[in-house]
Amino acid sequence: MKNVFLTAAALMCGSVMFGQFNVSTVDQIGSGNSSSVVQTGLTNSSDVDSVGDDNDSTVDQNGVSNTNETRQTGGGPGGDGLSDRNISSVNQSGATNNNFIWQDGDDNISDVDQVGVDNDAYTDQWGFSSSSIVSQDGNNNDSDVFQGYGSGNGFHVSEVYQSGNDNVSLVNQYGGDANDSYVEQNGNMNDALADQNGNGNISDIWQTGVGNDSDVNQNGDNNWGQNEQIGDNNTSDIDQDGNDNYGGAGQYGNDNNSTIDQDGNANYALTFQIGNQNNSDVIQAGDTNASYVEQQGNNNGQLTQQGGNSNDAETYQIGNGNSSTTGQFGDDNESFVAQSGNNNGSFVLQIGDLNDSDVAQTGDLNTQVTQQVGDSNDSDVSQTGNSNGSSTTQTGDMNVSDVDQIGTLNGSAVTQTGDMNNSDVDQDGLANSSTVDQDGLQHMSVVNQMGDFNLSTVDQNGNNHMSSVNQVGNSNVSSVTQNN
């Protein structure tokens, strides 16, 4: 039997209207349906159409030109439906609020609360056990939620909170189970997008400020993406393809940019930006790779790229205008870069397996380049002062290089070609220069210079050479050449 509401024969349905030009139409087919519509103001319109079992709809509109359309559909009496125990509750207060909900599935629940001017919320749920809560408070907020498209069931949960002006949020959760999305925006002109396809994915987005943009895209199972933006004009993008990946970005300041791209399984990437105009890019392809980035200050930039498995990269930048690039291609490589000061530069490239690079720069205008090609190479570079430069190149296996520079305008160049070579360079003072070139097997070189304008050159070719240079004072010159 078809029940046409707004008549005396309507059961379990209430409609209260105050004001002018209010129109409400409720049409229900089935059993156990209940609907309540209350409209107060001018030009409010509500249309609720329920077909299925145990549907419950409540619409409360207060303001000017509020429009609501709720569809809970299914097969009707005697049919399999796909519309069982759906609940929709809409509360709109303000001017020109517009809401449209369409639920076709099992155990769907949608709750929309809009307060302000020109808010628009559209929720469309397919699948199984989907739940969506949208709350918008402010002006020109727009929220779109799609859940349960594609193959498979969906235990989807989505929560969107927007407070401010001109906020936009879009959540897409397709075929899969136990996906969860949470979006909260406070401020003006913020934009958030969450797209999840798979099972057990979690997306969290927090935005406070003006003009922030956050995107989370996840394909696979058990991925977790988190973005937190506090400030203005920050941009964060997290893309994860695979299973069991985690990507997180925290931006606290203005005009920061963070990108995390992970392709594989069980990868981990976390980026913190505190300050203004910092830029971070993390790209990981493979399994069980890990990246941690922390930027404090202004105008810092860093790039981390990993290709392979079980690589680990950590980058710390404290100050202004620092730059760091880390590339790891292989398995089980480790890179650590710490920059404290201004306008320091670091470049690390690791190709192979089990390579280890540590870089510490304290001061201003220090630069360093580390390149490792092979397996099990170890490089340590420490620069304290200003305008120091270091270059380390290792080609082969199990080479060890240690460079320690304290002062100003010191320069070190270490080149190791072969296996199991060892170089140690220590410079303390002004404008000291050291060059070490090892070609062959099992060479040992130690250079120690304390003072100003000292110069040391070590050239080892063949196998098993040992050299030790110790210069204390100013303007000393040493040259060592070993061949066999």
* CA distances in angstroms from 39 to 91, 94, 128, 135, 313, listed in the order given: 10, 12, 31, 19, 58
**Domains: count for the chain:** 1
Residue 25 resides in a domain? yes
Residue 117 resides in a domain? no
Residue 347 resides in a domain? no
AA identity, residue 99: N
Residue 412 resides in a domain? no
Residue 1 resides in a domain? yes
The strand ranges marked E within 376-454 are: 378-386, 389-397, 400-408, 411-419, 422-430, 433-441, 444-452
Whether the CB-CB separation of 165 and 143 falls below 8 Å is answered with no
Residue 41 resides in a domain? yes
DSSP label of 133: E
Give the CA count within 13 Å in the CB-facing half-sphere of 154.
30
Nearest residue to 475 (alpha-carbon basis) of 429, 435, 422: 429
* pTM of the predicted model as reported, rounded to 2 decimal places: 0.81
Residues 251 and 204: their CA atoms lie apart, in Å, by: 14
Residues of 170-204 as b/e, b for ≥16 C-beta within 10 angstroms? Answer: bbbbbbbbbbbbbbbbbbbbbbbbbbbbbbbbbbb
Nearest residue to 132 (alpha-carbon basis) of 157, 113, 114: 157
User: What range defines the domain where residue 45 resides?
Assistant: 1-106
Q: What is the DSSP string of 51-91?
A: EEES-EEEEEEEEES-EEEEEE----TTS--SEES-EEEEE
Residues 325 and 345: their CA atoms lie apart, in Å, by: 8
pLDDT tens for the chain, 484 residues long, are 333 333 222 333 455 555 578 887 878 787 677 888 887 878 888 888 888 778 888 888 887 888 888 877 875 444 455 667 788 888 888 788 888 888 887 788 888 888 878 888 888 877 677 788 888 887 788 788 878 765 555 677 788 787 877 777 777 777 666 778 787 878 888 888 888 888 888 999 998 998 989 999 999 999 999 999 999 999 999 999 999 999 999 999 999 999 999 999 999 999 999 999 999 999 999 999 999 999 999 999 999 999 999 999 999 999 999 999 999 999 999 999 999 999 999 999 999 999 999 999 999 999 999 999 999 999 999 999 999 999 999 999 999 999 999 999 999 999 999 999 999 999 999 999 999 999 999 999 999 999 999 999 999 999 999 999 999 999 999 999 999 9
CA angle 369, 373, 374 (to 5 degrees): 145
Residues 58 and 320: their CA atoms lie apart, in Å, by: 55
